[in-house]
Amino acid sequence: MLRLEGVDAFYGDLQALFGVSFEVRDKEIVALVGANAAGKTTSIRVVSGLVAPRGGHVLFDGADLASVPAHRRVELGIVQVPEGRRLFPFMTVRENLLLGAHTERARAEKERTLQYVLALFPVLGERAGQLAGSLSGGEQQMCAIGRALMARPRLLMLDEPTLGLAPVLVGRIFETVRTINADGVTILLVEQNVRQALTLAHRACVLESGRLVLSGPARELLGDERLKRAYLGL
Amino acid sequence: MDPARPLGPAQIDAVAQLGVSTILLGGIYALIAVGLTLIFGIMRVVNFAHGEFLMLGMYLAFWSFTLWRVDPYFVLVVAIPLFFVVGLVTYVLVMKGVITASHNVQIFTTFGLSILLQNVALVAWSGDFRFVRPWHLSVALRIGGTTFNLSQVVAFVIAVVLTVALVAFMKWTHTGRVMRATAQDRDAATLMGIDTDRVYRLTFAIGIAAVGAAGVLVAPLYSVYPTAGLQFVLLSYVVVVLGGLGDMAGALIGSLIVAAVEVAGSYVFGIAWKEIFYFLLFILVLVFRPAGLFGQRGSETLGA
């Protein structure tokens, strides 16, 4: 479904990705793991179009995304939940969710998707009229995921969805990601909770200093002592 | 002429007259200011050329009236779509290039645009003061102890309808939500599939359409000349700061306050003093309530 081929990306003069290649197949959960500043977020931003790669290709369903601006990629089904949730703080939960259904494709199914999201996160229904900025961290994350789901993603990219959440909520978020995947959405997950991410994911890619150093079935990586010591700090 | 002054020789109830004048004036100020606060709220650009688009609206009314005897209120039907297009073109030619630039660059750009438009008007139409005198300007209405003319009332009603429609549009339509979302977090809006460049284009066009319409409405009430926009744009800044930057509902209330200060100040101390009072108010607000009289939520809210 998604393939990166030798992607180089920069922030100004600073190179953040060096020839990164990996693949996400249909209906998979792929975890992107690695230390801070390894290039995980950059990889996701290259796919969503917020960062333009200077070299290499990003292919979605076999088509090169180079000439597709970020907002058009949402229409193709590529939806990112950004790090730090990035809700619209002065709008209500309901308004945030409805904004997720902006593309024509999503708008047609708005009501049905909203029912789905509210069933997934009942608390969002209770908080519908509240300003998104007034929610707790966990509720905000649910709202951010709910908003992304409103766009009817085919590939959902989650950037550190459990950052700063209490352990009990971390479990809930992972649970939800599994449910969303079971409902047919392909997932690309950036996580610092490596052990839980590898337990959840089918496959994983390990990044270090902007380079892909390892990839394979998540369970194998989880059992690899050398990998654990070298890259995952477990 | 000053609309705050009684028009007829009738017995005037001073307090009631001041109240009516305040409301009539405030409604028109609101329509002028609402475009400014919209553009600032969504695009984070202070449009220093705002008054010049008002001036262009006034000239449109003047020439339509002088050349073809078209009443300003009918000109409005053409003016709103026309200024919408003017806004679109101005965005593409001028604003698009500076939307991500520093505030200094944006200030010089819109200020330069302001001077350009003033001088184009000066060259094209000379510096003469022009007047639009439709029939309704000389129809005096007397209600209770107050008097005002029909032009003021119609301008007020149209201005309020347009302003309220714009506020409602921002608050309740999907496009309005999209615009507010873009103001609050541009990247997050992009990730929702929102074309933010299109949002800015639309915002600028709506803001210019509003102020162009205001120009047409005020043309019969004030003299028309190349720098006619200045007096209005200065008070619009006061209105916008009073109401909270980017807060459209606040701009409505700010307009009434500025109008009240102007009307009462002119009545008690004479017309020459009116600007002193609202700039005094401006300074006081900046010192004591820099987020605006009602703003605790900062300038990001925009009608939220």
The beta-carbon neighbor of A90 closest among B188, B194, B301 is: B301
The half-sphere exposure of B272 on its side-chain side, counting CA atoms within 13 A, is 0
Residue A106 tokens read as: 């999503």
**Residue B47's CATH number:** 1.10.3470
B140-143 and A211-217 beta bridge pairing: unpaired
Assess if residue B2 is contained within a domain.
no
Beta bridge partners of A211: A208
Residue B33 tokens read as: 């200011």
**Structural domain range at position B204:** 9-302
pLDDT at A164 over 90: no
The beta-carbon neighbor of B192 closest among A49, A89, A100 is: A100
Assess if residue B3 is contained within a domain.
no
Number of C-beta neighbours around residue A227 at 10 A: 20
Assess if residue B171 is contained within a domain.
yes
CA dist., res. A203 & res. A180, Å (int) = 17
ipTM entry:
0.91
CA dist., res. A140 & res. A82, Å (int) = 12
Predicted confidence pLDDT, tens digits, chain B (304 residues): 455 554 454 556 888 888 888 999 999 999 999 999 999 989 989 899 999 999 999 999 999 999 999 999 999 999 999 999 999 999 999 999 999 888 899 999 999 999 999 999 999 999 999 998 888 888 888 887 788 888 889 989 999 999 999 999 998 999 999 999 999 999 999 999 999 999 999 999 999 999 999 999 999 999 999 999 998 988 898 898 888 877 888 888 899 999 999 888 888 888 888 888 888 888 888 888 877 777 655 444 444 3
Residue A135 tokens read as: 């929610």
Establish if A80 touches chain B: CB-CB under 8 angstroms. Answer: yes
Query: Residue B111, exposed/middle/buried by CB under 10 A (0-12, 13-18, 19+)?
Result: middle
Q: What is the pLDDT of residues A29-47, one digit of tens each?
A: 999 988 888 899 999 999 9
pLDDT, position B243 = 84
Min Cα distance A92 → chain B (Å) is 9
pLDDT confidence bin for A233, thresholds 50/70/90? low
Which residues does A51 contact at the CB level (< 8 Å), separation at least 6? A9, A11, A16, A42, A45
Asked whether the beta carbons of residue B188 and residue A71 sit closer than 8 angstroms, the reply is no
Give the length of chain B: 304
pLDDT, position A232 = 61
Count of structural domains, chain B: 1
pLDDT, position B2 = 52
Q: What is the pLDDT of residues B29-72, one digit of tens each?
A: 999 999 999 999 899 898 999 999 999 999 999 999 999 999 99
For A89, nearest residue in chain B (alpha carbons): B184
pLDDT, position A95 = 94
Cβ contacts of A72 on chain B, cutoff 8 Å: 193
The residue with tokens 């150093």 is A213
The beta-carbon neighbor of B194 closest among A71, A80, A89 is: A71
| Window from A91-100, A211-220, B209-218, B293-302 with minimum mean pLDDT | B293-302
Beta bridge partners of B224: B130
